Amino acid sequence: MAIGGMALAERSAELREWIRTGRARQLRVVAGLSQALVAQDCEVTASTVHRWETGDRLPRGRNIFAYHSLLARLVERERLGERDD
């Protein structure tokens, strides 16, 4: 099943890679977002985002889509050189 042009399996695989390499946390930090703000966007708790970033847990179900979408937006902002200075 494709969501937003990218299959859920593809999103999940990319997300796991971002988490494994620390890229997920790096994207959040560079964007100046707290774990609490990411949690609010994904409708989870800040401790859940912390567990995702450390690899203690992986997002499941709709959380894969929510977290991947947020991080993909940050990747795009980074690519375009946009910052919140």
Q: Establish if 4 belongs to a structural domain.
A: no
pTM score: 0.85
Q: Which residues form the domain of 69? A: 9-80
Q: Establish if 1 belongs to a structural domain.
A: no
- One digit per residue, the tens of pLDDT, for the chain of length 85 reads 444 567 889 999 999 999 999 999 999 999 999 999 999 999 999 999 999 999 999 999 999 999 999 999 999 999 898 655 4
Q: Establish if 35 belongs to a structural domain.
A: yes
- If one counts the domains in the chain, the total is 1
Q: Which DSSP category does 18 fall into? A: H
pLDDT at 76: 94
Q: What is the CATH number of the domain that holds 24?
A: 1.10.260.40
pLDDT at 7: 87
Q: Which two tokens stand for residue 59?
A: 């997002």
Q: Establish if 3 belongs to a structural domain.
A: no
